[in-house]
Homo-oligomer: A and B are copies of this chain.
Amino acid sequence: MNIRIINIGDELLIGQVINSNAAVMSEMLLKNGFFVDRTVVTGDKAADIYQEIESALRQVDAVIVTGGLGPTKDDITKKVICDYFHTTLRLDQPTYDFVSRLLASRGMAMTETNKTQAMVPQGADILPNPLGTAPGLWLEEQGKVLISLPGVPYEMKGLMQEEVIPRLQRRFMPGEHYLCRVVQTIGIGESFLSDLLEPWELSLPPHISLAYLPDGGIIRLRLTGSGPDEARLAREVDAEVERLCALAGDYVFARKDQTMTEVVADLLKERQQTLATAESCTGGFIAHQITSMPGCSAYYKGSVVSYANEAKQQILHVSADDLASMGAVSHEVVEQMAQHARELFQTDYAVATSGIAGPDGGSPEKPVGTVWMAVASARGVSSRLCHFGPAGGRMRVVGRATNTVMEMLRREIIAH
């Protein structure tokens, strides 16, 4: 079955906000066996929204609309839905009570504007949204489904996970099972990996397929299978995962859909070991990646973001001579950063980065994209130089450096 996504919002249409909801929703749906045929962005104009919903419901089985459910005047999705289904709004008491309690817990009173959040089209099923004031809506007519969700990314995501996907499965795929496994590699380019895997890929049965999803030096390989017998499907897909991993060998760093940082976090937790970071060019991004995961205080002690050379010297005790003679982007400096961060935070491991993220600061000897990375442990310190190049801007260099230094750390952890 096919699904259409319609994201509503002038802010998306004029380019003030990049439409990340479409990508998140597509991926969630695909992992559960639903194919998105197209995604459309429209502005906050009733006629455009109406036209897109009408044309989508002619072409596909289900349409998911995001946005236009908030309490302000430019939020008009509910009005369009009422028009389309020839119905009117009613007050939904459970939603009204929930919004009142939510506002009260934030020390706010219910206003007239907030009351409109509890108005829903007659005939719509309410999808409760514990994370915000606008509930999701599910409407059905002549075998077609229209779903309306708030545009706030975490509210949309929660509703997709808890309400929309289970309901779509019950409604459209009873008896059909869908399975998705992810294997991830680092250190090998897409075309080389593709050459390595080609004979195996060509031998895959028709109900199992492979996709390459490269990003930031990492390639996610997604195996998806479908069939009526869930247990048999799982055995078949898992056997293909084994064949894939045997071929990709040492390049494989994860058999789950985890970030590199999550893989390292699991290893540290498992071994009850601790980590600190010392960041120059990554500027706090590694710390942020780690601390965005709940429970990180079990293994993560902190970071010194030594952006200025004085901070490298005074807080991380990097030798002033080395800084002057070798420069901040050197193995001498990055190794001292890692070693001294490990001592300062009294951890089992420390990682450090020092490089040129650009666009300025490059030189013929150390062009933009040059990064030194180091890992320190009780066994000593090791470092590595990478040239990530200038293309793609600062954040691409920072992301590549983060993945690379965490892969160095992962290898150091599992080697002992």
Contact = CB atoms under 8 A, between A and B. Distances in A.
Interface of A: 10-20, 22-28, 30, 36-44, 48, 52, 55, 70-74, 105-106, 108, 111-114, 130-132, 154-155, 180, 189-192, 194-195, 201, 209-215, 220, 222, 224, 257, 277, 279, 282-288, 290-292, 294-297, 300-308, 310-311, 314-315, 344-346, 357-361, 387, 389, 391-396, 398
A74 B15 contact: no
Contact of A294 (B23, B212, B285, B360): B360
A195 B113 CA distance: 8
Contacts of A23: 12, 15-19
A-side binding surface: helix, strand, loop or mixed? mixed
Contact of A106 (B210, B212, B315, B389): B389
A302 B282 CA distance: 11
Contacts of A224: 10, 14
A4 B155 CA distance: 29
A279 B257 CA distance: 29
Contact of A37 (B48, B277, B290): B48
Nearest to A28: B15
A42 B105 CA distance: 43
Contacts of A131: 391-392
B308 A305 contact: no
Contact of A15 (B24, B291, B344): B24
Nearest to A20: B18
A113 B297 contact: no
Which of A211, A277, A294, A357 is most buried by chain B, counting CB atoms within 10 A of its CB? A211
A80 to B, nearest CB: 15
A16 B184 CA distance: 13
Contacts of A302: 304-308, 311, 315
Contacts of A286: 284
A15 B30 contact: yes
